[in-house]
Structures are given as C-alpha cells and as structure tokens.
Amino acid sequence: MSSNNYLIDNFSNASNWQVATGTWSYSNGEYYTPGNSNAYTGTTVFTAYDIVFECDIQVSSTGDAGVQIRSSSSSGTDGYYVSIRPAENALALFDVAAYKLTSVSCNITPNSWQRIRVIMIGNKLTAIYGKTQLTVLNYTHGAYESGRVFLRSYYNQTSYKNVKIYGLNMFNTDTFDQLLPTKWIPYKGDFTIDNERLINTGGNMSTFIANSDYYDNFILEADLSIDGSGNCGFFIRNTDPINDVGYFISFSSASNQCTIYNQNGSIGGASVAISTNVFHHIKIICFENHKYIYFNNMHTPILVATNDNYYTTGRFGIHTYYTACKFDNITIKNLEPEFIQKVRVLNYNPFLTTKNMYLYQYMNWNKSQNIAYEKVTLLLKATENKVFFKIVDWVDINNFPDVSNSGHLRFNETTWLQSYPLPDSPYLEIFGQGDFNYDNAVIEFNLINDVNNNVIDEVWIFGDWEMGTHEVTMIGDSTAFDLNQTHYQMPGALRNFVVMGYTYQRGVDMMLECMGHRAEWTFYHYFGSIIMFTDYLSQIPANLKFNNLTIFDKFIFCDYMKQVFVNNDPTAINGVGWVHVSPSMKYADIIINPPAYHINVPQYVFDYPEYAPSNYLFWKNYENSNYPSTISDSINCKIWGCGDREGHHFWWLSCIPTGTGVDSSNRYRNWWRYILLKV
C-alpha cells in the first residue's frame, strides 16, 4: 500500500521496488537477496524530505546490509547509507558518493530478526537498531535533501519484512485519521493506527515523540485508554527519547496512581481511580516549574507539582510500559500569558488534636488546595490563557487566626467544639465578618516587604467565615482604594496589593464571586459609574440616556435598567449584568418600594429561561469604546447553565475584555490589567 508520502509493504509482491543490481525475491511476507553480490533495490514512488523508515531485518555474518535514504540516483549512487556490519559489530553511516561519516559499536547477532529505524529531519539523521537493546547513531549532515529509499546488501544474505516508510508532518493536533502516525517520531516499540486511534498492544516499551517544536509552557490535552495492568502516559519537555530525558506523566491502572517522574525518580503522585478499556480525558498544564495534571475533571487537578524545574523545554510524546493503551484527540498549544500574578496563600488549617484530623475534614468542608487550583484553572480559561495566577508560596497555619484589636485567638479547639460539637451543627456566625487581624498578618508573613520586592503580587487567605476575612480588600499606600470592603493603608508599602478572603466551607463558586466583586469595584474606581451606587429613583439624573453612561455601566447593563435608569432609551443594549444579577433581569422582577422609592433588585437569580438581548460578544472581543448600535446576540440562562452560580460567575468573568493595546479612549483593552493593578 503506497501513496506519494507513505509506503506500507508486507511483500505480497515486489511492485513497490525497482531492482538496480543483484537478485531480489519475495515470499512469505519477506523480501530478500541471497548474498552473492552487491544488491540494491529502490522504491518506485517515495521522495520525502523529512522521513521515517522502519522494518524488520535479518542479516548473515558476512558483508553488510541496511537502508539507503535520500538517493536521487535511479541506481542508488548517492544519498545516506545506514549500514549494519556484523563482522565489525558496528552500525555505520556512509555518504554513498564519498566516504564513511561515522559509526557506533553495535551487538549484532546474525540470522536473528531485529528492528531498524532511520529518521531524518532536516539535516539530522538518527538510526536506531535493535528491539530491546537499542543502538543509536546520530549524525548531522546536509549534502542530500530528498530522494528515494533503497534496500541495500553487500555480499550479505539479507531479508526484510514489515517495511513502513512515511514523510513527517509537523504536529498541531492529531485525531489519527491517517494510516500511519505521520506526526510522530518512533523511537521505541510500536504503535499502530486502528479505528482512528493510536494503539499499542502492550508487548513492549514504546515511545513516540511528536514532530514538533520545543515547548516550554503549554496546555496538552488527550484521550487515553489503558487496557492492561501496566502504565502509560505522556513525556513532556523531552530532549532525549532514548534515555528518557524529560518528565514522564504516568497513569497506572494496576495501582490507580498518577505519578510524575524525572530521570531520578518520582517527584509527585496522587491516587486516582482508573477504569480500564475506557477513554479518560487528560489535561496537562505546564508553566515554568508548575505542572498541573487533570483526569476527566478539567477544572480540578488531581496532581500539582511545583518542586522541580530541572527540564525547562523539549518535545512531548507518548509512552507505554508493557501495557496495552490507546491514544486519541491529542492537542497542544503554547501557554504564553500576558500577566503572571504571583500569589501567596495563607491557609488557616487548624488541627483538632482531640479528633486527630484537620478542621476542614471534621466539618466535611473542601480541601483548600483543591478549590485554589480549580480557581487558577478557571481564571486561566476565562481570560483565554492571558492571566495565570501562579501560587508561588503556600503557608499552612495549623491554628485559628487573630481577631483584630484583641490580640488573642478567636477560637481554640475547645471553644470551637463547644460551638460546633457536630459537623452538621447550625452555623452561628458568632463573630461576623471583617475582624481578621490584617495588621498582624502583614507583619507575621512579611507581606509588605515581599510585595515591594516583587516576590508576590497578591495574597489569598483561606479559612471559614468565622475567621473574619473580607471577601476582598486592598492594602497599600495612599493610593489604595476600596474593593467591596474598606482598604488598609500601611507604612512602608511601595505598591498596592489585593488580599482575597476565601472560605473552604464553600466551593469555587464563592471564589469566583469574590473575584467578580473585585472586578466590579476596580472598574468603578478606574472607569466610574452612575449606576453602581444608585439605590433610589431620586438619585438618577434627569433625562439620563444610555450614551451618558460610563463604559462600566454599559458593561453591567441589565434589561430592567432600560426602564429604571434611561427612560426606555431605544439605543440601550444589555451588557453582561452584575456578579449577583443576570443581564436578563426584567423590570417586572424588581421591586421599587415607596415612599423613598428604593430600588430592590432580586439577587442570585440565575435561572431565567426567557431570552434577552445582550452584547456580551462585544465585550469578549472588545476593540474600542464605540459601542455598537445593534444587538450581537440574545441569551438566556442556558449560556452558563440555568441555576448554576459557579457557571454564571465563570461566564461573567469570561466576558471581561482581554484585548491587546489601548482603545480609542486610550483605555487598556485588557481590563484584567486593571484588576491586577498593572497600570
């Protein structure tokens, strides 16, 4: 079977070969020469530039034999010849028209079947000989650019079978809809394509590396099925496939374990239930020294490794270790965020000695690491990979925090268990929010100095609501401003920074909501707003029109605002709403209470089935401040998942502009720059 860029030959005939010299015959799936002459036979169709040749070969003890590539002569008098030389126990490379280029020692057993692969990409040639004990020859030479493939034997009784020849294509994505893996470089073992999937039957250790550029930081996704009891997975940042130089992400169905290895051994692992003969979706995010591994759930990583950055760049590949595996739908893309926000986490994680467990375990709450990295993942996705919150420091404090202005611990183990004797005890909110001792935390954890010296950019605090943190606040100098709660000016601060307050009682929905409030208040500070603090009809300016609103007002504009704020101005177009309020909130749904005519807007109603106009796509693709006069789309709650608070908050954050440069009003098109205080 052949075409212009591949050849598969099991030698049911010899129609793909043109004999130049010597005697050649075929039978029983083999193509052979008796060894009594100098014998050449060349392909009739193949003229690839970047090429993979592989076959099984059996040589006798005399002379030499092998494969010749990039030969433009019909008689095979030029090109590169990879020679198996049993008398010398060597694998050698020749420039056919000139001389021997190089050789390596090789243990050659005559009259035994071995595998030979020749890979040439550009001017770099790699020859690999053997099945289990591999001999590798590498050489760089640029005399020949393309040409036919020849089988060659010099007074050696030589047999060939299972020949595959194919030209290489650059990898971008692979759904394996071709007969041969033309985007992969085979280094060890074998893979075949069957039913548009790349399959290894498990009889050997196999490594294929993508024919791609080197990747430093990237997002890799794939479908993986493990059909045996061994392990398989993905190489990343690999620079030497033969010697396994790089990281290997291993999935073992036998031990239900995901493990990250470097050349020296494991650098991290996690338990995960791996069903066999079922495709699982895998995602790997690799950024600097951070490696996040996702298994089926693409929001929460099962494994995070940040303690090793020995390998900084390389190719990616697939690897199986004596187990049957299938791969499909493999994609990779560079991860080049515009902003890297360095985060220190202060995790108040009290250990209850009488219960021999942590507070979050006793109360059946979330593990803070899980929801923290889920937030990192979701915000990376919401910003179209332009903002990466990099957790550079994680501090576990196994105690309860200070209460401001009191200098003592809010709770200790005894007082907590008195208040909450059982995990399902009613939540009392005895102390309320906002009395966390920020002053002490700034000193204890050296926050001002580390922000001033760019060690960190912001702080996330985990606890429960009784620990008293604000959802979001700002600490800094005289230019600090309120973010949903009061700000703190502190001596010595050379730049402002944000402190997020999160509770592991709730999930990532709460974390996204806090980020949404941070965005709202930031945009109010930089862009201004007529709507944001207008709670009474009497506060609305007379004859207000949609065009009089600020850019932030237009962003948060909801359906009910058309009648309340702009006198049913026909030019008014809905934006994306508030963090608490859907853009499809109707006038009929709100309550205006006399006599002061307070505007009472229902909160957290995210299940409106009715469609309403919205220019959310304008904001997602924001270019300039000239607001369109037409509606780009109509939406209802299905766009985020009706009733799904986390889904709504993610959708809302994903509508924040992430463009490049500045708009016609000299405003940054990427509004995350304002949220991150990069202005």
Q: Rounded to whole angstroms, how far apart are CA atoms 558 and 583?
A: 4
Candidate from 252-256, 398-402, 417-421, 561-565 with smallest mean pLDDT = 417-421
What are the structure tokens assigned to 674, written together? 């304002």
What are the structure tokens assigned to 289, written together? 């020294």
Query: What does the pLDDT average to over 237-257?
Result: 95
Instruction: Give kind and range of the element (H or E) at residue 652.
Output: helix 645-654
Query: What does the pLDDT average to over 518-536?
Result: 94
Residue type, 427: Y
- pLDDT tens per residue across span 55-81: 999 999 999 999 999 998 888 899 999
User: Which pLDDT score is estimated for 433?
Assistant: 46
User: Which pLDDT score is estimated for 425?
Assistant: 60
What are the structure tokens assigned to 259, written together? 């493990």
Cα 131 to the center of its chain, rounded Å: 34
Q: Rounded to whole angstroms, how far apart are CA atoms 108 and 129?
A: 9
Task: Determine if the peptide bond prior to 595 is cis (ω within 30°).
Answer: yes
User: Which pLDDT score is estimated for 569?
Assistant: 93
Residue 629 pLDDT greater than 90, yes or no: no
Alpha helix ranges (H) inside 172-215: none
DSSP symbols for 596-638 = TTEEE---SB----S-EEE-HHHHHT---S---SS--EEE-GG
CA atoms within 13 A on the CB side of 400: 21
- In angstroms, how far is the first alpha carbon of the chain from the final one? 61
Q: Read off the pLDDT band of 431 (50, 70, 90).
A: very low
Residue 445 pLDDT greater than 60, yes or no: yes
What are the structure tokens assigned to 221, written together? 């996704």
User: Which pLDDT score is estimated for 415?
Assistant: 82
Residue 407 pLDDT greater than 70, yes or no: no
Q: Which residue has the higher pLDDT, 345 or 430?
A: 345
Q: Which domains does the chain have, with CATH numbers?
A: 6-167 (2.60.120.560), 173-334 (2.60.120.560), 345-506 (no CATH), 529-675 (no CATH)
Q: Rounded to whole angstroms, how far apart are CA atoms 660 and 662?
A: 7
Q: Rounded to whole angstroms, how far apart are CA atoms 258 and 271?
A: 6
* Beta strands 114-121; 100-105: pairing state: unpaired
Residue 403 pLDDT greater than 80, yes or no: no
**Which residues sit opposite 112 in a β-bridge?**
none
User: Which pLDDT score is estimated for 426?
Assistant: 57
Q: Read off the pLDDT band of 2 (50, 70, 90).
A: very low
Residue type, 360: Y
User: Which pLDDT score is estimated for 402?
Assistant: 76
Q: Rounded to whole angstroms, how far apart are CA atoms 284 and 301?
A: 9
User: Which pLDDT score is estimated for 628?
Assistant: 74
- pLDDT tens per residue across span 97-130: 878 999 999 999 999 999 999 999 999 999 999 9
User: Which pLDDT score is estimated for 48?
Assistant: 79
Residue type, 148: R
Mean of the per-residue pLDDT values of the chain: 91
User: Which pLDDT score is estimated for 406?
Assistant: 52
- pLDDT tens per residue across span 589-606: 888 877 777 788 888 889
- What is the CB neighbour count within 10 angstroms for residue 36? 12
- Cα angle: 667, vertex 668, 671; to 5 degrees: 115
Residue 409 pLDDT greater than 60, yes or no: no
User: Percentage of the chain with pLDDT > 90?
Assistant: 75
Residue 287 pLDDT greater than 70, yes or no: yes
Query: What does the pLDDT average to over 561-587?
Result: 91
What would you report as the CA-atom Rg of the chain, rounded to the nearest whole angstrom? 33
For residue 266, give Cα distances in angstroms to 56, 247, 270, 320, 620: 35, 10, 11, 17, 42
Of the candidates 199, 185, 61, 203, the residue with the CA atom closest to the CA atom of residue 128: 185
